[in-house]
Amino acid sequence: MSKRKQTARLTLLLTIFVMLTKLLCGAGGASAGNVSSRRIAASGNNSDSNPLPAQTAVEDTYPKVAPASKDWTIRIGAGAILSPAFVGSRDYQLMLVPALKVTYLNTFFASVEDGVGYAVINQNGWRAGPNAKIAFGRKEDGDNPFRIAGGKTSALHGLGNIDTTLEVGGFAEYRWNNISTKIGLRKGVNGHDGLVGDLSVKYTHTNQSLSPMAGLPLVVSFGPRLTVVDATYSKAFFGVDADQAVNSGLPRYSPSGGVLSYGVGSFIVVPISKQLSATFLAGYDHLTGDAGSSPLVSERGSPNQGMFGVLLSYEFGFDSR
């Protein structure tokens, strides 16, 4: 394949990814920042929500179902996810969510849930490199454009809306046999302006005997995870300033940084055909520290956050040469 054709394909794929990301962000999504009463009055109900809070359950470690190995791999699909209306909510909503992922030779990846990244280091079980992603926020009215069932929560009234945040940073991952460990650190360059760190450990097992497709194994993965944030991030999502206290009726609260949550995530990938698969997701996270003690959580929400979902995806690929 000529370099011109390779460049054209790469440009097309990145254009599609950027357009879908912009569509999702414009439809409602972002990270956070403390919002004053003046901003609440100005924004009304037109700013962003957290439409995809559970899609991060499927990370870039998602195993391939198709046996054929291609330079470029593309996965498209959609699914339904039941999760809290916002981080810390006790109200649940059922959402219809899109799924899109593009990878190149286990080095480049781009997806709605993981953002864009490139493994500068990719050897001896190690992968590490820069990563940038869009963090989705929330609407004051408790709604999001992907909601198909479940009522709007009133817990956020008076707290204002939260804008989309671009987070930039890096990741490092090490795999040893069936176990993988991943750490990520990102800084918001707008929106919440905070620092977010993620740590996860996964055990992945493949089983051919339980698979409905000969030659394509059923994949099971599960493991613990931990998220830490700085004070700026914590105040953005869980703090209550003077103006917000007046508008919401909640007491003033200024949280510090630290461990935001700990929990466990799991998924099962069931091959339907060589290119089609169903993924079943489940996860639980417990908000702790100052986030768990926030009046938004203790008075109007819950520190216990569960998630269940199913995704149907189609995977295909092509070689760049």
The 3-state secondary structure of the chain reads CCHHHHHHHHHHHHHHHHHHHHHHHHHHECCCCCCCHHHHHHHCCCCCECCCCCHHHCCCCCCCCCCCCCCEEEEEEEEEEEEECCCCECCEEEEEEEEEEEEECCCEEEECCCEEEECCEEECCEEEEEEEEEECCCCCCCCCCCEEECCCCCCCCCCCCCCCEEEEEEEEEEEECCEEEEEEEEEECCCCCCEEEEEEEEEEEEECCCCCCCCCCEEEEEEEEEEEECHHHHHHHHCECHHHHHHHCCCCECCCCEEEEEEEEEEEEEECCCCEEEEEEEEEEEECHHHHHCHHHHCCECCEEEEEEEEEEEEEEECCC
CATH number assigned to the domain comprising residue 122: 2.40.160.40
Q: What is the pLDDT of residue 136?
A: 82
Q: What is the pLDDT of residue 8?
A: 52
Tens digit of pLDDT at every position of the chain (321 positions): 555 555 555 554 454 444 444 444 443 333 333 443 333 333 333 333 333 344 444 444 345 554 457 899 999 999 999 999 999 999 999 999 999 999 999 899 999 888 999 999 999 999 999 999 998 877 898 888 889 999 889 999 999 888 888 999 999 999 999 999 999 999 999 888 999 999 999 999 999 999 998 889 999 999 999 999 999 999 999 999 999 999 999 999 999 999 999 999 999 999 999 999 999 999 999 999 999 999 999 999 999 999 999 999 999 998 877
Predicted model pTM: 0.80
Q: What is the pLDDT of residue 36?
A: 38
Count how many domains the chain has. 1
Q: How far apart are CA 149 and CA 114, in angstroms?
A: 25
Q: What is the pLDDT of residue 5?
A: 53
Q: What is the pLDDT of residue 92?
A: 96
Phi, psi of 113 (to 5 degrees): -80, -30
Q: How far apart are CA 178 and CA 141, in angstroms?
A: 43
Q: Residue 120 sits in which domain range? A: 3-318
